[in-house]
Structure 1
Amino acid sequence: MYIERVPNRNSPPAVLLRESYREGKKVRKRTLANLSKLPDEAVDGLKILLKGGKAIEDIEEAFNIVRSRPHGHVAAVLGTIKKIGLDSIISGENTRNRRLVLSMIAARIIAPKSKLATARGLQEATKLSSLGERLGLSGTDEDELYLAMDWLLSRQEEIEKSLAAIHLVEGTLVLYDVSSTYFEGKTCPLAQFGYNRDKKKGKLQIVFGLLCNAQGCPISVEVFEGNTADPSTLTQQIEKVRTRFGLKKIIWVGDRGMITQARIREDLKETAGVDWITALRSSQIPKLGNQSYIQLSLFDEKDLAEITCEDYPGERLVACRNPFLAEERKRNREELLHATEQKLDKIVSATSRQRCPLRGEAEIGLKVGEVINKYSVAKHFNIQITPDSFSYQRNRESIEEEATLDGLYVVRSSVPEETLNAEDTVKAYKSLSKVEQAFRSYKTIDLKVRPIYHRNSDRVKAHVFLCMLAYYVEWHMRRCLAPILFDEDDWENALRLREGIVTHSVRSDSASSKAQKKRTADNLPVHSFQTLLADLGTIVNNRIQSNIPGVNFDFDKVTEPTPVQRKALDLLGVSLICTQ
């Protein structure tokens, strides 16, 4: 028996249940029933039964989901890695070591964990996502990941050279800054006590320097001992760019604590082809003001002015005044002064109380010193201490003198004006904020390079390099996903709305709208990078098992993306079917 649809010229087709039979040598057919009034789903079910299928009363009981593996974020990250060619940069051959490294990079972006936890998430019995099976890494343990880190470190120079060839050209800006991160344990030779930016008292640390191009794309990272001073790392990095990367003409951009007077005198001035941009220290600016090199009248019409000073021969100085920064510094100074006065009043009360008064110049001076040094405003107070009394007044002259320089900073450069005018020089210096953004991603919100648990120096270096490669992938992803993130997605409009390069940056109309409405121009919800990855992680690859008698098979079924998930995948230009 079978079902046949017979077309009618002016009516819907007739659905007939028929049977074929032989009459001599001829095959004939006869109609057993007219099924035209049955709904289509009933007819389709009958077709299945006639072909030997089984009737299922409860469709939910026909299948079991035996395993679900979060997959969308894996596809997004691995697809991006393949699209930007990082897999080929790491190694031209699809070896197991390459796949292990890619798994650690992807895991660092998706859910940063220890190497032990990362290995557990790749194993068949304890997998946390589809990452392990997509890269063919079932059976991976932490020891294999450690060996892959050693292999990666041996290729660091070659990988960084390839990245530099893509993202750096002759005469380009090179952004460089240094940070530190605390260390767990005491056996690694790199871990030393030093200036702790993480405010972790009693913790050993390492120092690492990150080198980026003008757009903030990471190119290279170097790890130093935890007690290494920032300026001492500069010479080695310049030599790396000139010899390993083969760039003879560059403009080096570093902050005032990095490019010091000693480094300028001993390294930069003696290196042909290397120009630099930095800024004067805050302690150097009052001297320019006292010598009348900087006058407030310079900023009547513009917020920046180029000046010359014989103390800085052959250099260009661009004085900038940010009125918003000036107001902020005025407010901060007043708050510090007020907080100091409140504590000083307590000392005044202690010297005049009836019971157990505070006595002695040494004792009173010790208490006063703790207060005025805590807020760094000692120069703004006139202090009078006697053996049995204490009084103070604000130093109005000192406060007014400092206030005249509120909002002022001076960019210092060796770059000729024909290469960069004053405004572009200031813009180049302020682009260091892109390296600071990289450090925030590196250390806190995304990649979580800290704390470090490795005890071997090479493993520490490999760990930091892995995090740099992960940020390289994230940097590309953020640029593609900007329309559906809270990130700026219309830099041209943002620059047009900005009053000048000296003032604070301004959001574009598009970014402001996203921040206010929490919706995109397409009326999709706006995400942060982290929540978007979590959203993509809800796209799951389900392993489905059949419970139909006589039908034994398993198959995979991926969750259908939501509109915002589909938009993210389209912006990245990746598919849910990703291969390596």
Structure 2
Amino acid sequence: MSPRLRKVTTASGATAVQIVRKHRGKVTVLEHLGSAHTEAELTALLAAGDEKLTDYGAAEQLELELGLPADTAAPPRARTVVGSRSSVLIDAITESWKRLGFADVINDNAFFRLVLARLVEPTSKADSLRVLAELGIEPPHHNTFFNCLIRANERDYRGKIAENCFSHSVATTGISLLLYDVTTLYFEAEKEDDLRQVGYSKERRVDPQIVVGLLVDRTGFPLEIGCFEGAKAETHTIIPVIKTFQDRHGVTDMVVAADAGMLSAKNLKELDDAGLRFIVGSRQTKAPHDLATHFRWNGEYTEDGQIIDTITPKGVKRLDPHRVKVRREPVWSAEEHPDAWRVVWQYRRKRAMRDEQTLNLQRNRALAIIDGDKPGKKARFVKVTDEEKSFDEKAYERAMKLSEFKGYVTNIPAGTMSATEVIGSYHDLWHVEQSFRMSKTDLRARPIFHRKRDAIEAHLTLVFAALAVSRFMQAATGESLKKIITSLRPLREFTGQVGGQDITFDPEVAGEAREIAAELMPGRFAGH
């Protein structure tokens, strides 16, 4: 059935008008138009609904659904819709922008509108004009947006945003633990340049790309973002981003957690030399030597969840092989073990089952290649000797033996942080991964259509700001950004003209939408 208008009496005694659709006996509310407290407001609201129904292709249903006699309706010239806007959503985003302090340091309405449009519906700069118009905001000329991106670099908007993000994190979560990860953003371009280069892509693409490093607090709130050449190795990005963060805020006492991709002897030394503490995922290939004492005294048996706190060499040089003669694992300290780091290993049966399934799939693929059932591409566990292929049984058994272990390398003594706390801190890394997923899906950081480095940097500043606002809104409400947008966007404020006078009325905000709005705008909805 086509959409129709419906009048509903609210708890406050007002008359709400909604656009609804009835299908198979179920009524679905498509849009809340607002609530009227007087006959004049109701007349204007019905006029707004009349025009909205035209958009829905069902204006002819107006009098049928409401049952209004023709003589009670205001004449067409007396009831005219002047305009409408998604006031609740716009005000919620504006309030979040202010609560983060961004409005105090960035006096640029065009930049804020770009952030707002990106939060609501990520799209190109030019198409953001459509998004703003649909929200009820008069869009500026498209050149205004491109000029504001030039200002973003010239006036260091990123630095100002980063300062306020830092202050917010210190006041809420604290920066004792920071999380770092990288991603790649690709371009719709055929040729490479000094920045946009073909490199290792997490999505296995062959397009020119850039590498983006993101530093967040333990809740995933963004603190620093860095842009690097597309062919740059991940391990070469963490130090510049952290040093920028340190120089900007004068921070020295913090713990940095990153995955195994950041694990290089040079990185760990630089972090340690800078006085920073770190927790980095260890590569599984190091397990046999690190756990040599455990295997010597316990065999291959390990209890589910068992933690082994030991040491690992800083570089390629092996540790003293005679240490396995002592059953007790060494307690790491910088003074007693200058050539080693502390490493915590944990055995999890659930991880072992998952990894073993993967290894068996790799084993089957290797055997199929050896038997000639599959093309002879390079595959794990395929050993080639004098052009003859055979299955590497020892490598397979070694991988199966180590599949259940996960290692965590750190320079934090056991007296400062227990092994359990080390593992827990590392597992907070899912927050930075969540932020990256948001920046690439909810906020559509990619693909990027800019060509010059200044424009690309400005685009990342925009994404950085939008990511901060979105994380703030999610933390305040406990809801996803998508849920916030879909709940608040339909709530529109209408302005109608009755008898030559403009009457503006707010939408009826109730139920779940009201709870979300109250968290984002407590002063406006408190006590209602």
> Which interval holds the TM-score relative to the shorter structure?
0.7 to 0.9
Report how far residue 58 of structure 1 moved.
3.1
2:249 is the alignment partner of 1:239: no
1:150–1:574 distance in 2 versus 1, CA, 3 Å: farther
Report how far residue 60 of structure 1 moved.
6.4
The RMSD of aligned alpha carbons is 3.1
SS across alignment from 1:199: coil
8 A Cα contact 2:161 2:465, kept in partner: no
1:400–1:103 distance in 2 versus 1, CA, 3 Å: same
Comparing 456-465 with 243-252, which one deviates more in the overlay?
Answer: 243-252
Hey, what does 2:470 align to over in structure 1? 474
User: 1:511-535 CA deviation, whole Å, 9 max, x = no partner?
Assistant: xxxxxxxxxxxxxxxxx53144123
Comparing 290-299 with 401-410, which one deviates more in the overlay?
Answer: 290-299
8 A Cα contact 2:100 2:164, kept in partner: no
Hey, what does 1:100 align to over in structure 2? 110
Distance in 1, matches of 2:456 and 2:367, equals 47
Percentage of matched positions with identical amino acids? 22
8 A Cα contact 2:87 2:491, kept in partner: yes
Report how far residue 540 of structure 1 moved.
1.4
User: 1:68-107 CA deviation, whole Å, 9 max, x = no partner?
Assistant: 433332222222222332322x33xxx4xx2111111111
Report how far residue 209 of structure 1 moved.
0.9
SS across alignment from 1:404: helix
Hey, what does 2:73 align to over in structure 1? 59
User: 1:12-70 CA deviation, whole Å, 9 max, x = no partner?
Assistant: xxxxxxxxxxxxxxxxxxxxxxxxxxxxxxxx99xxxxxxxxx9813265634454433
2:178 is the alignment partner of 1:174: yes
Report how far residue 287 of structure 1 moved.
3.5
TM, length-normalised to structure 2 = 0.73
1:115–1:224 distance in 2 versus 1, CA, 3 Å: same
Report how far residue 242 of structure 1 moved.
2.6
Within a 5 Å distance, the mapping from 1:336-347 to structure 2 comes to 336-342=362-368, 345=371, 347=372
Residue among 253, 256, 260 paired with 1:249:
253
Hey, what does 1:276 align to over in structure 2? 278
Hey, what does 2:98 align to over in structure 1? 82
8 A Cα contact 1:282 1:409, kept in partner: yes
1:321–1:286 distance in 2 versus 1, CA, 3 Å: same
Hey, what does 2:485 align to over in structure 1? 533
2:453 is the alignment partner of 1:451: no
8 A Cα contact 2:309 2:342, kept in partner: yes
Hey, what does 2:397 align to over in structure 1? 400
Q: Which runs of 4+ in 1 moved over 6 A?
A: 382-386
Hey, what does 1:190 align to over in structure 2? 195
Within a 5 Å distance, the mapping from 1:404-415 to structure 2 comes to 404-415=401-412
Distance in 2, matches of 1:431 and 1:468, equals 20
Hey, what does 2:332 align to over in structure 1? none
Distance in 2, matches of 1:171 and 1:415, equals 16
1:343–1:543 distance in 2 versus 1, CA, 3 Å: farther
SS across alignment from 2:417: coil
Report how far residue 297 of structure 1 moved.
6.6
1:478–1:292 distance in 2 versus 1, CA, 3 Å: same
Comparing 529-538 with 282-291, which one deviates more in the overlay?
Answer: 282-291
Hey, what does 2:5 align to over in structure 1? none
Hey, what does 1:36 align to over in structure 2? none
8 A Cα contact 2:100 2:165, kept in partner: no
Report how far residue 270 of structure 1 moved.
2.6
8 A Cα contact 1:214 1:431, kept in partner: yes
8 A Cα contact 1:75 1:576, kept in partner: no
Hey, what does 2:164 align to over in structure 1? 162
2:504 is the alignment partner of 1:556: yes
Hey, what does 1:307 align to over in structure 2? 310
1:397–1:298 distance in 2 versus 1, CA, 3 Å: closer
Report how far residue 573 of structure 1 moved.
2.8
8 A Cα contact 1:74 1:110, kept in partner: no
Distance in 2, matches of 1:106 and 1:576, equals 20
> What amino acid sits opposite 1:467 in the alignment?
V
TM, length-normalised to structure 1 = 0.67
User: 1:135-172 CA deviation, whole Å, 9 max, x = no partner?
Assistant: xxx46122211221222233222332332244249972
8 A Cα contact 2:185 2:211, kept in partner: yes
User: 1:239-284 CA deviation, whole Å, 9 max, x = no partner?
Assistant: 223322111222222222213112223x23332x212111221222
> What amino acid sits opposite 2:357 in the alignment?
R
Structure 1: gaps spanning 5 or more residues: 1-43, 46-54, 133-137, 349-366, 486-527
Hey, what does 2:459 align to over in structure 1? 463
2:85 is the alignment partner of 1:69: yes
2:147 is the alignment partner of 1:150: no
> What amino acid sits opposite 1:110 in the alignment?
V
Report how far residue 429 of structure 1 moved.
1.4
SS across alignment from 2:135: coil
SS across alignment from 2:89: helix
Report how far residue 339 of structure 1 moved.
4.4
